[in-house]
Amino acid sequence: MTATQADQTRDNLRAQQQEPPRQSSRAWYRMLARDRFATGAGILLLLIVIAVILAPILAPYDPEKAQSGARLLGPSSDHWFGTDELGRDVLSRILHGGRISLTIGFLAVGLGLGIGGTLGLLAAYFRKLDNPIMRVMDILLALPGILLAIAIVAALGPGVYEVMIAVGIGSIPVFARVTRSAVLGTKSETYVEAAQSVGAGDSRIILRHILPNSFAPVLVYATLQLATAILSASILSFLGLGPQPPTPEWGAMVAAGRRYMTDTPHVILAPGFAIFIVILCFNILGDGLRDALDPSLHQR
């Protein structure tokens, strides 16, 4: 064996030995299960997602059908959450509206994570791209997120996909910064330097070493951002920039019911409570994921 081959063999062994063991999905799932609040939040979110997916089956009435003789009825056995100003069943509208609110949240976070995460990875790994990419992100961060979303929706027009695009674009800069920070921390590890010393290509290093060891903080932020995205979408709908009537959406339902909140508070309490519960569950689940994926907390 030549000296060069011996050096390469030694570097390969060093890279394998010094790379920290990755937590398996079962390992962090067990750690997450120890947090009763996070587990409960995850189970409740799962039930909510199942309920809104099965909304056409579970909803007792047509969410868009008005009944003039059933306006503003209180909760009863026929209408569990009462009816709105047009006689439409509030429970049915919440179930169908949840499909829109959750869809906007997941698609917006996916858009922000896909574009922002890619930009953050490129900025951290290829240093020549760092300054131009991050300066653009700084410009976007200088604009308040909700104002940026309003400006985008105003330019594109109201609608489900327009709100999704607006909220997704607003989350790109923060995803870029979180990903950049995580990749910079991983890039400085010895096992990455060892892989570079043996001539491993950039794509192999990124896929084999960088991404698997950098996904934890990005995953945690994505979970928390889901709550922010749903809240932002509800705010835009409340302002009349989201899905247009008679399409049910939680924020729009709150906006429509605010005129009747004194005499019939159920018309805003029901959709408002749905927004509150979903956002709370995503925040608790995000905190639980952060604790489960943080190795320093398991060494105490």
Buried b (16+ CB within 10 A) or exposed e, 45-64: beebeebbeebeeebebebe
pLDDT for 278: 95
pLDDT for 206: 74
Q: Is residue 166 part of a domain?
A: yes
Of the CA atoms within 13 Å of residue 96, those in its CB half-sphere come to: 21
pLDDT for 300: 47
The span from the CA of 3 to the CA of 223, in Å, is 49
pLDDT for 107: 94
The span from the CA of 286 to the CA of 42, in Å, is 10
The span from the CA of 170 to the CA of 68, in Å, is 41
pLDDT for 65: 87
The span from the CA of 268 to the CA of 253, in Å, is 7
For the beta carbon of residue 205, count every other beta carbon within 10 angstroms: 18
Of the CA atoms within 13 Å of residue 116, those in its CB half-sphere come to: 29
Peptide bond into 212 cis (omega under 30): no
Q: Is residue 237 part of a domain?
A: yes
Q: What is the pLDDT of residues 212-239, one digit of tens each?
A: 778 888 888 999 999 999 999 999 999 8
Domain span at 286: 103-298
pLDDT for 184: 86
DSSP 87: S
Q: Is residue 149 part of a domain?
A: yes
Q: 127-141 and 90-125 are packed helices; what angle lies between their axes, rounded to 10 degrees?
A: 140
Q: Please list, in sequence order, all residues whose beta carbon lies within 8 angstroms of the beta carbon of residue 4, skipping any fewer than 6 positions away.
A: none
Q: Is residue 7 part of a domain?
A: no
Q: Is residue 36 part of a domain?
A: no
The span from the CA of 237 to the CA of 221, in Å, is 24
Q: Is residue 62 part of a domain?
A: no
Q: What is the pLDDT of residues 82-125, one digit of tens each?
A: 998 888 999 999 999 999 999 999 999 999 999 999 999 999 88
pLDDT for 89: 93
Q: Please list, in sequence order, all residues whose beta carbon lies within 8 angstroms of the beta carbon of residue 222, skipping any fewer than 6 positions away.
A: 109, 113, 175
pLDDT for 116: 93
Q: How many domains are there within the chain?
A: 1
Q: Is residue 126 part of a domain?
A: yes
Q: Is residue 284 part of a domain?
A: yes
For residue 268, what is the domain's CATH number? 1.10.3720.10
pLDDT < 70 positions in the chain: 1-33, 191, 193, 196, 199-200, 202, 294-300
